[in-house]
């Protein structure tokens, strides 16, 4: 790969709305018409359903394969007072899934308990020792959440020791037979007719709760509503696309968060300096989620599970403080690891289409974050791994052009275990197979990516004049696009040939950029550019900007600002 003089990022603007769609949505503001059209809703009825976050398909949980068998077995366990273990994962999706199903079952008077494996001692997913311990403690039924779909051996072990198993998971199943279990609930499995395939693990746990509780009866409806805050937390933190049913669940979950009685959520929001009355998906992704994740990354996730389920205010406050401290520690470790991982990857093979860095001292709890930063910085799939005495555990992040889990599937003969999504995955490999694994993955990446224009693409919804950007546009139109995030991004705009009136750096190490921009009518706009501080010393007098538009509250006063995603000198050819 050779360097070039083009802009580091490619800007793309969505196709202009068709005349038919423009006429159909004539009652909407011009900019909103274009944004909604870009999201795939070309008629008035479809646009209103989207903006109101109403499902356009059947969401009956019994539409999922094996849901009836799972519910029948769970009800039998409840009726016969059989102990039930909810076996989760140590990330936010797994912790919220575990908390949700434990609470739903306890509401039904079940003997239910949560079990979350230790990342460092047990690793991801089911393991035989844990199943043996659960069996010895009297557990009769294990329900997995956010894991298990790629654990056929462990599922077979559960059967051998007489432990009934229900698997619920949202990860892609491996090719071939599914794990042997009483029920396998995963809309991605072959033959499953449920419409929405993109539910997070916590979303599937919620569907199980729906199937058990139904929507009849005031008490049942109340408990289902009370669980939606957990659904919002897990879905957003796991980067599940905020489309389809996820969008409906998270919209309602944010509403529930604003009126929650969950003590742990109050305490968590307090240490994160988040107002629950105004919480949105961004607060989950950047403030609440990382603190919940910190427990599982550095120690064990039981603290996060306890925080979300405790009724004791003092205990919730203590746990929230512990997670806040761990999150700061995690941030420091991550920064150091990112620097070291980049040095290793660039030193070993700087021209590779897939970046790889492994070290004995890397903390396995944060290798995924380091891989994310490598991918973000160099726009290449990246793997950062912890090398142990016998095995290496890797975390992968990728770009849209390269499906990382498919690549790992092609290396399954070398791996102890693996799994994930198109953009993120993990694996364990014996050290004797590590070198050939890395070479094979790099070969797959080279074959797939060679010849491509590998630059991050920033897609804007529409080009605008800054004159059009006003607070009433946000309040009457843009806020109805929430929740925004992965799969349903914030609306993004391009304004060209904008005058720079003032520029200064802000934040630690002058990393961020604060601008005052002026449009053709002389109207000033405040702008913030996170991680764009380097522009201060090379700022031209006029620029093209790509940005989102957002409210900014300070000392009780709400103003509106451009949140800059990229800057180019005015007139730059992409």
In this predicted structure, the answer to whether residue 120 has a pLDDT above a threshold of 80 is: no
Phi, then psi, of 382 in degrees rounded to 5: -140, 145
Residue 160 has pLDDT above 70, yes or no: yes
Q: What is the pLDDT of residues 475-500, one digit of tens each?
A: 999 999 999 998 899 999 999 999 99
| CB count in 10 Å sphere of residue 3 | 5
Supply the pLDDT for residue 174: 84
pLDDT at position 7: 59
Q: What would the pLDDT profile of 245-288 be if each residue is shown by its tens digit? A: 999 999 999 999 999 999 999 999 999 999 999 999 999 999 99
Q: From CA 482, how far away is CA 35, in angstroms rounded?
A: 13
419 pLDDT above the threshold of 90? no
- Quick one: average pLDDT of 130-156? 97
Helix (H) or strand (E) holding 234: helix 228-237
Would you give the distance in Å from CA 423 to the centre of its chain? 11
Q: Tokens 């990354």, residue? A: 297
Peptide bond into 483 cis (omega under 30): yes
Tokens of 292: 């919940």
What six digits make up the tokens of 180? 């042997």
Q: Which of 38, 530, 14 is nearest to 282 (CA)?
A: 530
Contact criterion met (CB below 8 Å) for 566 and 546: yes
Positive or negative: CA dihedral 567, 484, 91, 167: negative
Domains detected in the chain = 9-50+461-569 (2.40.50.460), 61-216 (3.90.1640.30), 349-455 (3.10.310.30)
Cross-strand bridge partners of residue 114: 86
The stretch 188-213 carries a mean pLDDT of: 97
Whole-model pTM? 0.88
pLDDT tens readout for residues 376-386 = 999 999 999 99
- In angstroms, how far is the first alpha carbon of the chain from the final one? 19
- In this prediction, residue 5 carries a pLDDT of 38
Q: Are strands 557-569 and 542-554 parallel, antiparallel or unpaired?
A: antiparallel
Per-residue pLDDT tens digits for 292-318: 998 888 778 899 999 999 999 999 999
Q: Return d(Cα 24, Cα 21) in angstroms, integer.
A: 5
445, 407 Cβ separation under 8 angstroms: yes
CB 245 within 8 A of CB 203: yes
Exposed, middle or buried: residue 511 (CB in 10 Å: 0-12, 13-18, 19+)? middle
Could you tell me the pLDDT band of residue 2, with boundaries at 50, 70 and 90?
very low
Span 97-123, mean pLDDT?
Answer: 93
Q: Is the pLDDT reported for residue 442 higher than 50?
A: yes
Percent of the chain residues topping a pLDDT of 70: 98
**Confidence class of residue 370 from pLDDT cuts 50, 70 and 90?**
very high
- For the cut 90, the answer to whether the pLDDT of residue 414 exceeds it is yes
352 burial type by CB count under 10 A (0-12 exposed, 13-18 middle, 19+ buried): buried
Strand-pairing partners, residue 112, are: 84
324 and 360 Cβ atoms separated by less than 8 Å: no
Q: What is the pLDDT of residue 218?
A: 62
pLDDT at 3 over 50: no
Residue 510 predicted with pLDDT over 70: yes
Read off the pLDDT of residues 316-349 as tens digits, 9 standing for 90 and up.
999 999 999 999 999 999 999 999 999 999 997 8
Closest CA to 359 of 334, 333, 386, 337: 386
User: What value does the mean pLDDT of the chain take?
Assistant: 93
Say if residues 233 and 288 touch (Cβ distance below 8 Å): yes
Alpha-carbon distance of 553 to 518, in angstroms, equals: 21
Question: Could you tell me which residues are beta bridge partners of residue 185?
Answer: 168
**Structure tokens belonging to residue 447:** 């074959």
140 Ramachandran zone, left/alpha/beta (phi>0; psi -120 to 50): alpha
SS3 469: coil
- Please report the pLDDT score of residue 215 as a whole number: 59
The DSSP H or E segment spanning 89 is none
Cβ partners under 8 Å of residue 46, min gap 6: 56
């Amino acid at each position: 790969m050779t360097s070039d003089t083009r802009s580091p990022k490619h800007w793309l603007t969505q196709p202009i709305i068709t005349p038919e769609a423009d006429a159909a949505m004539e009652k909407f503001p011009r900019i909103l018409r274009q944004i909604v059209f870009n999201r795939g809703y070309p008629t008035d009825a479809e646009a209103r359903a989207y903006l109101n976050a109403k499902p356009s398909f059947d969401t009956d949980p019994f539409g999922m394969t094996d849901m009836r068998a799972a519910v029948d077995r769970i009800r039998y366990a409840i009726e016969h007072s059989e102990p039930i273990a909810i076996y989760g994962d140590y990330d936010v999706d797994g912790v919220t899934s575990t908390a949700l199903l434990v609470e739903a079952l306890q509401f039904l008077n079940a003997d239910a308990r949560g079990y979350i494996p230790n990342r460092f001692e047990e690793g991801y997913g089911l393991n035989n020792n844990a199943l043996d311990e659960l069996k010895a403690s009297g557990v009769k039924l294990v329900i997995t959440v956010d894991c298990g779909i790629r654990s056929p051996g462990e599922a077979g072990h559960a059967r051998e020791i007489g432990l009934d198993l229900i698997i619920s998971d949202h990860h892609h199943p491996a090719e071939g037979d599914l794990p042997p279990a009483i029920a396998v609930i995963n809309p991605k499995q072959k033959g499953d007719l449920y419409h929405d395939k993109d539910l997070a693990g916590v979303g599937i746990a919620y569907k199980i709760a729906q199937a058990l509780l139904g929507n009849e009866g005031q008490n049942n409806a109340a408990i289902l509503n009370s669980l939606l805050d957990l659904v919002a937390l897990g879905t957003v933190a796991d980067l599940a696309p905020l489309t389809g049913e996820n969008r409906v669940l998270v919209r309602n979950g944010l509403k529930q968060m604003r009126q929650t009685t969950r003590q742990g959520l109050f305490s968590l929001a307090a240490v994160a300096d988040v107002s629950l009355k105004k919480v949105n998906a961004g607060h989950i992704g950047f403030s609440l989620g990382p603190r919940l994740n910190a427990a599982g990354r550095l120690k064990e996730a039981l603290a996060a599970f306890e925080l979300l389920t405790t009724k004791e205010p003092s205990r919730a406050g203590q746990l929230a403080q512990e997670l806040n401290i761990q999150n700061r520690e995690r941030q420091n470790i991550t920064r150091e690891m990112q620097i070291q991982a980049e040095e290793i990857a660039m030193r070993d093979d700087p021209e590779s289409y897939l970046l790889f860095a492994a070290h004995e001292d890397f903390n396995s709890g944060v290798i995924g974050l380091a891989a994310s930063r490598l991918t973000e910085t160099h726009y290449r799939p990246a793997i950062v791994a912890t090398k142990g005495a016998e095995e290496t555990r890797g975390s992968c992040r990728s770009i849209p052009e390269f499906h990382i889990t498919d690549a790992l599937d092609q290396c399954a003969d070398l791996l102890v275990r693996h799994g994930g999504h198109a953009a993120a995955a993990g694996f364990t490999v014996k050290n004797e197979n590590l070198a050939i694994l890395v070479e094979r993955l790099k070969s797959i990446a080279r074959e797939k990516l060679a010849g491509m224009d590998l630059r991050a693409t920033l897609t804007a919804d529409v080009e605008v004049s800054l004159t059009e950007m006003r607070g009433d546009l946000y309040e009457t139109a843009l806020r109805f696009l929430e929740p925004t995030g992965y799969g349903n991004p914030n609306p993004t705009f391009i304004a060209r040939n904008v005058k720079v009136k003032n520029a200064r750096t802000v934040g630690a190490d002058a990393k961020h950029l604060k601008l005052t921009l002026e449009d053709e009518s002389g109207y000033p706009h405040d702008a913030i550019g996170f991680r764009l501080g380097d522009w201060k010393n090379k700022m031209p007098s006029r620029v093209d900007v790509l940005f989102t538009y957002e409210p900014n509250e300070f000392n009780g006063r709400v103003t509106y600002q451009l949140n800059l995603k990229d800057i180019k000198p005015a007139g730059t050819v992409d």
